[in-house]
Copies of this chain bind each other. A is one copy, B any other.
């Protein structure tokens, strides 16, 4: 492509509304252009990178025997009602009426449609297993679209679905997907980790996420450097710090006026923070009932863990609700003497036989000296968020917590969808059984964003060559000089004949602008055709390591092809 007639709008300044590196650079380098919140056009450079990532994805999916299909984005809402997700996902579903008054959904994922196809077309265990996939636009009514391609309202996803006759088949295909995903992300040049994850609104028995560690990430992942344990904080476990424990001579109610926070009360009472019992009130979205959750004062609640335990989403109670249900304001709550109808959950990190200090359910009062073993009807579970420095449950080494970008997610769905929608098959024994399903997704735009987050430097993007919009850029300095143009044109033609993906910067711009732009858009190899042409030389510059070499004009194509091969191999060798 010739830059002069290409749509590659580059900008020197960071856009004011972009916070993370990939968002800034994608806008500055003419990769994407915003239409409105969470909606972007892929400009030619961005789309070329997307097409390369999609090609890699298709190759690896085809390799595990997946069959590509293409499902409608418009879905009649009735099919989403069959599984209950018309309601469960209503927060992010775009829905609307058509001219005939029928209600439609813009699909944010396709389990329902897959199950609809399966219940019609799958008859027997002989038809199984099957893997179906598509690459298609997904739509989600995101409350907080932000960070460029990281959180959007419309995005391209590779989603695949497996249909199995038994759990062994599911395990096998789930593992095939894990391997294919590792190959896909490695071939795209990414560094990533595979972590245990929560299945959230998908449901199912197990899931793993593919995560790229990055400050721009919105997920939080727990890592053990020693044994390799890694899990999303939504499911991560750890050995909590031991804490220190004082002994109270007996039960006591203490006047604590104006003291509400764990920190304030702990200091006032002289009780370690870990011995304070934090009492939080949540509301189940399902039935509107209040739930009290008890945690060590130095621990934090993980809402996703709580939701999973409850089997539905939750929200913190409003202060007015707390006042109505308990008769006291937030800050003086505790598990002693709460109304019978209120469910009490306690995080298992609080020892059942240790005395605690907590609110007295009376304004301006706290109590000390009770134990959890003395509270009736408490259910214990894992409700806390793992914190940096806590110990690994597998090897005892200290854990670290990092933000990560989720680029892939694989789920063992089981029979949730097939049972709800009646997708059954006749098994070997002649019995009708629900199909056992899996679901597997890759956010393709996030591959691009992650690559930029991982490798960009102060000068701009550094694309892994396998997903670079172009492999090579020819930078012709002073396009008014015929010897420069002659060499550049010949290199452009010869490199294209050699099957290299070349961008030819034939613009009549200053050298400084051209170099800056080439660095900014991050093309792996730059060939500079300038004054040295008089001596029969051009310069080859490698963006990744900054290395430069002068080569004879007649050797330039071969040398470029060699460097390109080396860059590709560096990535392939890690696959």
Partner-B contacts on A (CB < 8 A): 1, 4-7, 9, 33, 35-36, 39-44, 47-48, 50-51, 65, 67-76, 79, 91, 94-96, 98-99, 102, 104, 106, 113, 116-117, 120-121, 126-127, 129-130, 132, 136-137, 139, 141, 143, 153-154, 156
Contacts and interface: CB of A to CB of B under 8 A. Distances in A.
B71 A41 contact: yes
B94 A69 contact: no
Given A39-B72, A70-B156, 7 more contacts: A7-B67, A9-B121, A36-B76, A39-B74, A73-B139, A74-B153, A99-B141
A506 to B, nearest CB: 12
A70 B99 contact: no
Given A121-B7, A137-B137, A141-B98, A43 B72 contact: no
Nearest to A121: B9
The 5 A-B pairs at the shortest CB distance, nearest first, are namely A96-B96, A42-B70, A39-B72, A44-B67, A41-B71
A117 B33 contact: yes
Between A40, A106, A116, the greatest number of chain B beta carbons within 10 A of the residue's beta carbon is seen for A106
Given A47-B69, A65-B5, A154 B35 contact: no
A130 B40 CA distance: 20
Contacts of A40: 72
Given A65-B5, A99-B141, A130-B5, A71 B113 contact: no
A164 to B, nearest CB: 12
Contacts of A120: 9, 33
Contacts of A1: 67
- Please classify the interface of chain A as helix (H, G, I), strand (E, B), loop, or mixed, using the class held by over half of its residues: mixed
Given A44-B67, A137-B137, A154 B73 contact: yes
A121 B8 CA distance: 9
A104 B94 CA distance: 10
B117 A72 contact: no
Q: Number of copies of this chain in the oligomer? A: 2
Contacts of A156: 70
Contacts of A102: 36
B39 A69 contact: no
A545 to B, nearest CB: 30
Contacts of A139: 73-74
Nearest to A128: B5
A76 B130 contact: no
A316 to B, nearest CB: 20
Given A47-B68, A69-B47, A141-B99, A75 B35 contact: yes
B95 A70 contact: no
A72 to B, nearest CB: 4
Contact of A69 (B7, B71, B121): B7
Contacts of A51: 68
Nearest to A30: B121
Contacts of A7: 67, 69, 117, 121, 130, 132
A112 to B, nearest CB: 10
Nearest to A90: B99
A40 B75 CA distance: 10
Contacts of A130: 5, 7
A41 B96 contact: no
B143 A99 contact: yes
Between A6, A102, A141, the greatest number of chain B beta carbons within 10 A of the residue's beta carbon is seen for A141
A50 B135 CA distance: 13
A40 to B, nearest CB: 7
Contact of A67 (B6, B79, B153): B6
Contacts of A41: 69-72, 113, 117
A162 to B, nearest CB: 12
A113 to B, nearest CB: 6
